[in-house]
Amino acid sequence: MRIVTIPLPQLGNRCHLLHDGSHGVVVDPPRDHAVVESAVEEAGVVLAAVADTHVHNDHVSGAPGLARRHRIDYLVSASETLAVPHTGVRGGDVVELGHLQLEVLHAPGHTEHHQAFLVGDVTGPAALLSGGSLLHGTVGRTDLVSPARTADLARAQWSTARRLAELPRSTVLLPTHGFGSFCASGVADQNDEGTVGDEHLVNPALALDLDTFVSDLLAGYGPVPSYYRHMADLNRAGAGDSPGRPAVPVTVEGVTDAVLAGQWVIDVRRRPAYAAGHFAGSLNVEHGDQFATYVGWLVPWQDDIVLLADDRTRLEDAVTDLAAIGIEGVGSHLLAPETMLPARHRRVTWETLRELDEAPTLLDVRRHDEFDSGAVHGARHVPLHELEDRMDELPAGEIWVYCRSGFRAGIAASLLQRAGHPVVHVDDDLSRAAELQLPVRGVVAA
């Protein structure tokens, strides 16, 4: 058996292709099939099945589209009701895929009908496709289905983790979540490799008693991106059966009209380029691994969006990344070099703050847990995802805004400027504040 791990950094997930040299199965694929098709082609195999460990809460599954394209079975829990063709499987079922055997394991916790897949052949250790159950160093969160079910699902997650841990310790552990997705509870180990045996040494679900585990798990949950509440419905409706509606070209006059109409004009350029010149009233979400997460979190669901970029590839990638979370048919505009971009704001490093005679109004936009662990002395705190609704809590005048690395502060700077605040973006790593001996409390390491 061969294992091909397909990183999906823009979703904070991993997808996996397992094959025997001729037939393969893909588990938890993204809506954009390009990376999956490339891996299948490079492996030189025929895709025999595609599977989802669960109905996802963080992205649109590409399984329905892959199944239709390759005319293969889409394996998913028989307890789920989906509007697209699929093959329902239950714990104990075994599916033959060439020389591979896929055994279905009932694994509730992350969701009600979550399953894990144990895949192997006669040549060596099997692999556990654990989805959002047993992760590297943690487990998937249990509060994404319903507040009323969170505690019960946490108990189920503890039982599932312990049951999966009874597999041979050499079993390769291949989770979907835990590489940046908010579906993981706590901070997961970022390594791609590990075994079930490794988890006996580090996983709280295997070290703590049930009540302590549940109490700690529920106490540790942070915020959930607002778009998550729509993903399960989209997946049950089979949204991933298509790549999504394409972007609609918008003229420069259309961009101006969108700004004046109060629509979300999102500039995906790098932070320095945006600070040097942009459309007044636009929002800067620099395209990168966390781009879709923060657009989906900050922009109210189904609000009109127009994307701006000065590079066609970056613009197309941004459109694809938004489609991955169900945001499609957005407007798009490719900025010409001669486009007038009169608005701007300052970008500084922590050295600039150290040189001031009087401390400015400093705003920290990291999450509550990050701020509680340490911050620059005297900084106000409003998490980025709460900023739009809490503008009236901020004083008038110039605001200096920071985060851990500068990315979230760049978004916040554009939101503040959009609301009428003069703004200075501290575009620097927070760990340097302590290194420069600025007054800090607690731990502000990168």
- Give the model confidence (pLDDT) of 154-180 as tens digits: 999 999 999 999 999 999 999 999 888
Q: Which amino acid is residue 254, in one-letter code?
A: G
Domain 2-236 annotated CATH 3.60.15.10: yes
Contact 307, 268 (CB under 8 A): yes
Please tell me the pTM assigned to this model: 0.95
- Give the model confidence (pLDDT) of 322-373 as tens digits: 999 999 999 999 999 999 999 999 999 999 998 998 989 999 999 999 999 9
CATH node for 244-334: 3.40.250.10
CATH node for 346-442: 3.40.250.10
Contact 318, 290 (CB under 8 A): no
Where, residue-wise, is CATH 3.60.15.10 in the chain? 2-236
Contact 60, 240 (CB under 8 A): yes
- Give the model confidence (pLDDT) of 52-80 as tens digits: 999 999 999 999 999 999 999 999 999 99
- Res. 387: pLDDT tops 80: yes
Q: Which two tokens stand for residue 50?
A: 């595609």
Where, residue-wise, is CATH 3.40.250.10 in the chain? 244-334, 346-442
How does residue 443 score in pLDDT terms, banded at 50, 70 and 90? confident
Residue among 412, 442, 445 at smallest CA distance from 426: 412
Contact 33, 15 (CB under 8 A): no
How does residue 190 score in pLDDT terms, banded at 50, 70 and 90? low
Beta strands in 83-141 (DSSP E): 87-89, 94-97, 100-106, 115-120, 127-131
Other CB atoms closer than 10 Å to residue 421's CB: what's the count? 20
